[in-house]
Structure 1
Amino acid sequence: MSELLSPPPHTPSLRLSQTQKDLIGGSIGGIAQVLVGQPFDIIKVRIQTAPTGTYASPLDCATKLLKNDGPMGFYKGTLTPLLGIGACVSIQFGALEWSKRTFGAPDKDCVFLGELYASGAIAGVANTIVATPVEHIRIRLQTQSTFAGPLDCARQLYASAGIAGIMKGQVSTMWRDGLGYGSYFLVYEWLVQNHVEKHGVDRKDIAPIWSVTYGAAAGYGLWATIYPVDVIKSKLQTDSLDPTKRQYSGMIDCATKVWRAHGWRGFTGGLMPTLIRSPFANGATFVAFELAMRAMN
């Protein structure tokens, strides 16, 4: 336990630019996020996209998944996010740190809250160029059995509708990540800045256990902001690629139909596994990022 409560020893700086360090640290954080959060994510997506009544609860979904696919069923479709989410989080942290440096000034001790939110929103939107195809392929693999793997899924999506087929859900992903990551990084960075000010320490001296705690809080800030948008995105990305068979014509049409059919409860499907997953996955993301950055500085 003492290893968790003490920062790692200082290591000599690597010959990398700050942007390269940000991208590498983000990649490591993204890989940690996927490995910790994937079992919860597949349960969330299946509940979000299954017909009403398919699962009585998240536990029922997990039980059926275990029975039908075995323990590895919880990591179905993991290869795509393991590669893609690593890239996504790399872009997020790279864009975030660049934005913070852009908003900051030599005479400022910290970045203001509005600037932190804007930095997070920029990071969120920037990452959608990778997040949209990665999540679309992952969701198809998690909910459908017609694909041999990620490459086969991508090939079939492209054959059906070209680039638009692979990038399906781009607009909803931009709304989700722009709004959500603004809150996500705002919460984390505010807590870190408050810790630095309150305890009179440098950022590099914050113990990893606090990075986990603040990352967990940031995860709840993220989902509290955008969960209904995530539900809409999942439904759009599992909708038919054939225009004549689609259930939804877009975000507004999807939201309207979900509301008419299920009311506000229609926007909360899969919320429980998401809330359970969030502190573990996001805590792992931030502590992995912070430790990686310390190792490179």
Structure 2
Amino acid sequence: MDNKREQNPSPVPKKTIPPYMKAVSGSLGGVVEACCLQPIDVIKTRLQLDTTGTYKGIIHCGATVSRTEGVRALWKGLTPFATHLTLKYTLRMGSNAVFQSAFKDSKTGKISNQGRLMAGFGAGVLEALAIVTPFEVVKIRLQQQRGLSPELLKYKGPIHCARMIIREEGLFGLWAGAAPTVMRNGTNQAAMFTAKNAFDVLLWKKHEGDGKVLQPWQSMISGFLAGTAGPVCTGPFDVVKTRLMAQSRGGGELKYKGMVHAIRTIYAEEGLLALWKGLLPRLMRIPPGQAIMWAVADQVTGFYERRYLRNAPL
């Protein structure tokens, strides 16, 4: 009997990276991404809010903002944007790891593609409600302001902006555009986490917990490819989100009553392609942003794998 037990030992659970390490890796990646790509986000927001054709394209928009408001205007909203990205990636990476653990097969420790999609969607919905929506409302309100004189601007900074919104529109004013944000982020993260894992396996034969650490350039390629599909699929949600967040409830009757009404109004007034306004700057920001974030995150988790999971020499 003892020999039989020795010949057929019970399977040893596969070691995995704990959620808190995933959260730390995401937060560090978010800081680097925010500093590098903030100007693209400002240009995207200005293009999405432009209903009169003021800006002729990405380069013209960036040049106009720099000329009329100064180069520093391209980093408007950096504080809420950086804080937002850091908290968002912390929650996204940590919650996705928790959700993936829940969807893993208890015997094999593996997770199916369907499980990855569900875990990613859950992480996207959670981050949209807890972090993304209120931070983006503040960011967009700051970014849409035009002018050089701080005293002429309605919002003096992120904290002042949040206070003004709460005072004029109530606490839920910070959650304007929550519905399209949930749809956008849930879909994006479901696709992104599944695609990132698929590209790691397909391109580099990298499996989580195998001790192999990707080179930063490898992580950037996988992250870039994984971050490309989402903006194309979720463009209308992003435009509607921006329009809903930008309108102030303190200024009278709202033009857009909700997500569906906004889609119909934009389509009727501006045409179908208007629902993909700002797509090019999104593609200039999101895939490179994912590339930067994953390059940092994979190095952090790779260090943990080598040091604590595989005990390989550093």
Q: Which moved more, 1:286-295 or 1:189-198?
A: 189-198
User: Cα distance 1:198–1:250, how it changes in 2: closer, same or farther (>3 A)?
Assistant: closer
Structure whose alpha-carbon radius of gyration is higher: 2
Q: Which residue of 2 aligns with 1:239?
A: 247
State the shift of 1:37 in Å: 1.8
One-letter code aligned to 1:122? G
One-letter code aligned to 1:50? D
Q: Deviations over 1:229-256 (max 9, x none)?
A: 0000000000121384211100011000
Q: Deviations over 1:193-226 (max 9, x none)?
A: 3346489993633222111001101111221221
Q: Which residue of 1 aligns with 2:132?
A: 131
One-letter code aligned to 1:68? T
Q: Which residue of 1 aligns with 2:75?
A: 75
Q: Which residue of 1 aligns with 2:143?
A: 142
One-letter code aligned to 2:100? K
Whether the 8 Å contact between 1:180 and 1:226 is mirrored in structure 2 is yes
Give 5+ residue unaligned stretches, structure 1. 1-16
Aligned residue-pair number: 281
Say yes or no: does 1:228 pair with 2:246.
Answer: no
Q: Which residue of 1 aligns with 2:176?
A: 168
State the shift of 1:156 in Å: 0.1
User: What are the within-5 Å matches in structure 2 for residues 258-297 of structure 1?
Assistant: 258-297=266-305
The 2-side partners of 1:253 and 1:199 are apart by: 44
Say yes or no: does 1:151 pair with 2:159.
Answer: yes
SS at match of 2:170: helix
Whether the 8 Å contact between 1:30 and 1:86 is mirrored in structure 2 is yes
State the shift of 1:159 in Å: 0.2
User: What are the within-5 Å matches in structure 2 for residues 34-183 of structure 1?
Assistant: 34-105=34-105, 107-108=107-108, 110-128=110-128, 129-144=130-145, 145-183=153-191
State the shift of 1:148 in Å: 0.6
Whether the 8 Å contact between 2:33 and 2:292 is mirrored in structure 1 is yes
One-letter code aligned to 2:189? Y
Please, which of 189, 193, 202 is the counterpart of residue 185 of structure 1? 193
Say yes or no: does 1:251 pair with 2:259.
Answer: yes
User: Cα distance 1:284–1:103, how it changes in 2: closer, same or farther (>3 A)?
Assistant: same
State the shift of 1:109 in Å: 6.6
SS at match of 1:205: coil
Q: Which moved more, 1:106-115 or 1:48-57?
A: 106-115
Q: Deviations over 1:17-37 (max 9, x none)?
A: 923212211111211221222
Higher relative CO (CA 8 A, sep ≥ 6), structure 1 or 2? 1
Over the aligned positions, Cα root-mean-square deviation in angstroms equals 2.1
The 2-side partners of 1:118 and 1:27 are apart by: 22
SS at match of 1:52: coil
The 1-side partners of 2:211 and 2:182 are apart by: 30
One-letter code aligned to 1:142? Q
Whether the 8 Å contact between 2:200 and 2:207 is mirrored in structure 1 is no
User: Cα distance 1:280–1:200, how it changes in 2: closer, same or farther (>3 A)?
Assistant: closer
One-letter code aligned to 2:131? V
Q: Which residue of 2 aligns with 1:8?
A: none
- Stretches of 4+ aligned residues off by more than 6 angstroms: 198-201
Give 5+ residue unaligned stretches, structure 2. 1-16, 146-152, 306-314
Over the matched positions of the two proteins, sequence identity in percent amounts to 25
Q: Which residue of 2 aligns with 1:7?
A: none
The 2-side partners of 1:18 and 1:151 are apart by: 34
